[in-house]
Amino acid sequence: MNDRDRFFRYVCQTSAMPLGLEVARAEGCWIETTDGRRYLDFLAGIGVAGVGHANPAVVAAIREQAGQYLHAMVYGEYVLAPQARLAERLGTLAPDPLSVVYFTNSGTEANEGALKLAKKVTGRHHLVAFHGSYHGDSHGSLAVTGREVYRRPFEPLLPGVTFLPFDDPAALDAIDEKVAGVIVEPIQGEGGVRVPGPQFLPALRRRCDAAGALLIFDEVQTGMGRTGTLFAGEQWGVVPDVLVLAKAVGGGMPLGAFIGSPKLMRALSQDPPLSHVTTFGGHPVCCAAGLAALEVLLAEGLIARAAATGERLRAGLREMGKRLGGVTDVRGRGLLVGLELVDGAMTERFAARCLDRGLIVGWTLHTNRVIRLAPPLILSDAELEQGLSMMAEALAEAKAQDSSRDEPGTRADRAL
Ligand SMILES: Cc1ncc(COP(=O)(O)O)c(C=O)c1O
């Protein structure tokens, strides 16, 4: 049995049609498969490989830490230098007064912690979230994920969750004194790379302050420079009560975090003590990798680079749309870009034709018309141009294909 057969027989499948690329190695912005093909990766593991695949500084930090110790004790008992140093770095970079970090293994766990914190400090249990959001697949995060089709099979989930329309300041009056916390992605990722207007996040901050509800920014996808600032919320000048990170924060290793003020975070050590614990959260090897990735991000100016490269990517895509047609919108911030096409079938064909040419692009979970682009922030000018020309060829071919050659329905359609 070869590895492909093992994958399909023994690895639990989550869709009927996995991409199934057989990865041999991944480096920088490139993935090489076992058949010797090279793919330019415009998805980066859905925003994980911000500093590129197998960044040498990250790999060196992993090797060094692995030579010292792997796991020593459950979270919060021993002083582990990589954890303490990464916490200091994140705690200092996060906007005031956010400075205390709780490490987890993933984004969904970090959101669980943030939601629990909101309930504990307010003594309330109602939560507010937004249509089109995605916060993860554990029960609590799923309960605040704004797409019913994914929640329904697992109900009952958390009680008392209200969903409001995203980017609608008028709807925020529904946040009242019963609400413990409001969770929002500053830019919705899985909702189709939706960037809110200038009013929404500041209005949300004001409403949460008035109601005494905690404002939680889920920056799992938008954080760590992806959108052209270290955290996306900065672009609206809004500071949340809790900032949630994952994906790129581990430099390619499993790591998540939620960050709050010292006063807020103290709640997890009292009434009762050990209110929120984890065995592996903040694993020293992952924190060493995360610290190395953060230093690369800052030292190499990758945040400003993401902003500039993202502008050029969007401009190139707009020009492509004007020239070839089939594009209904191009949006995003930094290197989180949504390319909206006319319909689901076109989107499916476009992605498939990109892959034929050796370019990896992504879907978004809640819409079948938006291609998500989230390349490593180290993307070079030449790689950007290469990606753009592959997308133009793919779009021309996708448009030329008549409907008799349509793949039957799109991935997202099949989830509906
Ligand atoms: C905004 C957001 N929150 C939470 C998550 C869940 O993170 P994880 O898959 O690490 O649990 C994701 C993952 O895509 C995400 O995009």
246 Cα–ligand 1 center, Å = 7
Q: What is the model's pLDDT at position 403?
A: 54
The pLDDT-based confidence of 405 (bands split at 50, 70, 90) is: low
The per-residue pLDDT of the chain, averaged, comes to 96
Residue 134 near ligand 1, beta carbon < 6 Å: yes
Q: Hey, whose CA ends up nearest to atom 4 of ligand 1?
A: 135
Render pLDDT for 266-278 as a digit per residue (tens, 0 to 9).
Answer: 999 999 999 999 9
Our answer on whether the CB atom of 106 is closer than 6 Å to any ligand 1 atom is yes
Choose the residue to mutate in 108, 150, 194 for probing ligand 1, maximizing ligand atoms within 8 Å of C-beta: 108
- What are the pLDDT digits (tens) for 233-248? 999 999 999 999 999 9
Percent of the chain with pLDDT over 70: 96
Question: Quick one: which atom of ligand 1 is closest to the CA of 222?
Answer: 1
Convert the pLDDT of each residue in 63-121 to its tens digit.
Answer: 999 999 999 999 999 999 999 999 999 999 999 999 999 999 999 999 999 999 999 99
Separation of 401 CA from ligand 1 center, angstroms?
A: 35
Query: Distance from the CA of 319 to the center of ligand 1, in angstroms?
Result: 31
Q: Ligand 1 centre and the CA of 46: distance in Å?
A: 9
Q: Atom of ligand 1 at shortest distance to CA of 190?
A: 16
The confidence band for 401, taking pLDDT boundaries of 50, 70 and 90, is: confident
Distance (angstroms) between ligand 1 centre and the Cα of 396 equals 33
Taking only the tens place, the pLDDT of each residue in 194-245 is 999 999 999 999 999 999 999 999 999 999 999 999 999 999 999 999 999 9
- Pocket test of ligand 1: the residue of 105, 183, 221, 243 to mutate, having most ligand atoms within 8 Å of its CB, is 221
Q: Given a cut of 90, is residue 408 above it in pLDDT?
A: no
pLDDT of residue 402: 55
Q: Indicate if the pLDDT at residue 412 is higher than 90.
A: no
Given a cut of 60, whether residue 407 has pLDDT beyond it is no
Whole-number Å distance between alpha carbons of 216 and 177: 16
Ligand 1: centre distance to CA 393 (Å) = 31
Residue 416 clears pLDDT 80, i.e. is over it: no
What local confidence, expressed as pLDDT, does residue 198 receive? 98
pLDDT digits (tens, 9 = 90+) for 3-23: 999 999 999 999 998 999 999
